[in-house]
Structure 1
Amino acid sequence: MPMITEEGRLRRGRGTGEGKDYKPWLENREVNSMGTASEVIDYKTGRQVHLLSQGEVYWYYLLRWRDDVTDIREQFPLELEMTVEISRKLGFRHPYNEKTRMTTDMLITKTDGTYEAYSVKTDKSVLDNARNIEKLYIEKLYWDSLQIPFHIVYKSDVNWTLVKNIMDVTACYDDGCVYDAYSALRHKIAHKEIIVDMESRLLDYKAIIENMRNGGIRWLN
């Protein structure tokens, strides 16, 4: 695919919109992510989400599952003039060059109207590299200037069992995916109409159904 310039991204409205109308600044096909990029569908809006690493996929599902999160905007562009000014004040070289925007992996919108910014890294060894620390510090000071909390999170800290369960139940988020007792159960868990332990083990739907029936709940029949 031909390289898209900064000006081209601006003309296409990249980095604008919310919910189903959001357009990420970067798309998977435009970056070299060594085969780890993924496109997932936001199960609440139907929008294609562009995630550049496996860690971003895991954290997308964890953040989307939170009750206080209403929207996630991935590959969110930072104002170039601000990051250039920050990097100059710090005496750091601006990432790429002073004509290329930095991005934050995910900017979430919360139910109270506030925001949080997230940078997703593989593990804490990223902090062993001085240049990585410089770039993260520029990103942190940018969000600090806007009074928006900035978090660095790690793939290595993810509870894989919880992520796998979220992925599995949200695959049945839409009504049209319900076709039997098991998919109906996954649908209700995805909508949090039924609360189960998602963190300690992979969900055993057959066992859950049996427990519910033994307790006199018959909606699955």
Structure 2
Amino acid sequence: MARRMSDRSKQNLHMGEGKGKDYVPYIMTPEFNSLGTTSIIKDWKTGRSIHCMSQGEAMWYYLLRWNDSNIDIREQFPLDNKITVKIADKFGIKHPQSSVHVMTTDFLVTKNDGSLHAYSVKADRNLNDRTIELLYIEREYWKYNNVPFDMLYATDADQIMVNNIRLITEFYNKDAVYDKYSYSKHLIAIKEIELDLSQTIIDKDRLDEILEEFHYE
């Protein structure tokens, strides 16, 4: 049975701290019973394990990470409890679980200019009243910190692009290349070959076309 760690234990372990390959998410998938929705993705640039709590988070991680203007993504990022409690009190919202509970944001993205952008991911726009209340606290938190905050919905994720990114980034590192098809995926993954992955299904026929275009021997 999955066992949730206490906030004190997480803080003692420095979870929610670090950047890049050294970041440790505040919530990890082993803390939840397996329902087929959580997943761990290997970041193709740093090798770090990315802990996604839903299929929507996994899809949007691929899309956000593929964008080269996003140089770091910290998932399950902890919010300062003192601030979230003040926001909840100010607007008459019940703080989740208890006044010592640490809320998190699904993704905190660092842009290539050093700025930050926070995102919350939901399955769709059908949100209940309690979820809206918690999102309000989250939004006000990032507003207080002068960080843009936006919603992302699984239903808006481009499935073709997500699947293409997932398949080609397996070969981001050249050591993973073993034949001409994996080599062509490597070239796409490192963006030596530029394709609109939202329009192109990367199947064997398309890879043959790419190999011909680049005169692969």
TM-score greater than 0.5 by the shorter chain: yes
Specify the code of the residue in structure 2 equivalent to 1:15.
Answer: G
Please name the residue that 2:165 is paired with.
166
CA distance in 2, matches of 1:207, 1:13: 45
CA distance in 1, matches of 2:210, 2:21: 38
Q: Which moved more, 1:11-20 or 1:195-204?
A: 195-204
RMSD, aligned α-carbons:
1.4
The count of corresponding residues between Structure 1 and Structure 2 is 216
> Is 1:110 matched with 2:99?
no
CA distance in 2, matches of 1:40, 1:205: 24
CA distance in 2, matches of 1:59, 1:210: 29
The SS at the match of 1:119 is: strand
Which whole-Å deviations, capped at 9, do the CAs of 1:113-140 have from their partners, x for residues lacking one?
00110100000001xx211111000000
CA distance in 1, matches of 2:210, 2:145: 49
Please name the residue that 2:193 is paired with.
194
Normalising by structure 1, we get a TM-score of: 0.93
The SS at the match of 1:171 is: helix
Please name the residue that 1:44 is paired with.
45
Query: What pairs with 1:9-24 in structure 2 (closer than 5 Å)?
Result: 9-24=10-25
Cα deviation for residue 107 of structure 1 reads 0.4
Please name the residue that 1:69 is paired with.
70
**Contact 2:4 2:32 (8 Å CA) reproduced:** no
CA distance in 2, matches of 1:41, 1:167: 10
Normalising by structure 2, we get a TM-score of: 0.95
CA distance in 2, matches of 1:107, 1:48: 16
% same residue: 44
Structure 1's unaligned 5+ residue stretches are none
CA distance in 2, matches of 1:186, 1:49: 22
4+ long deviations beyond 2 Å: 31-35, 204-213
Which whole-Å deviations, capped at 9, do the CAs of 1:150-195 have from their partners, x for residues lacking one?
0111000111000000001101111111111111110010011101
The SS at the match of 1:125 is: coil
